[in-house]
Amino acid sequence: DTAVSQTPKYLVTQMGNDKSIKCEQNLGHDTMYWYKQDSKKFLKIMFSYNNKELIINETVPNRFSPKSPDKAHLNLHINSLELGDSAVYFCASSQGGASSYEQYFGPGTRLTVT
């Protein structure tokens, strides 16, 4: 009964490749997020998305693109991977609206680009 799940847990790939990370939540939440956590543990939001609005952090390269086939899924696609993309990527979800921003995080995907 995992709330937010991500696959794969680990991903090792070479520079220049294109890869995707999948995220699914079974909480019925209407907003999903992608975060990048670097080696210094700094957690940075990349995208937030609900069925109405995609908010993109302007510092995210356009090689990164979120894709949402339905409300329960938000996948992260990365083109032309670079060494600096190595990090742990967390997916999260929340029930949007004014009263709650409590976010539930997935277990993370450790991406290593060689």
Where along the sequence are the contacts to other proteins (CB under 8 A)? 4, 31, 33, 35, 40-45, 48, 50, 53, 55, 57, 90, 94, 96, 98, 100-108
Half-sphere exposure at residue 17, Cβ-oriented, CA atoms within 13 angstroms = 14
- The least CB distance from residue 52 to other proteins, in Å, is 10
- The least CB distance from residue 18 to other proteins, in Å, is 25
72/108 with CB nearer other proteins = 108
Nearest to 54 by CA among 76, 27, 87: 76
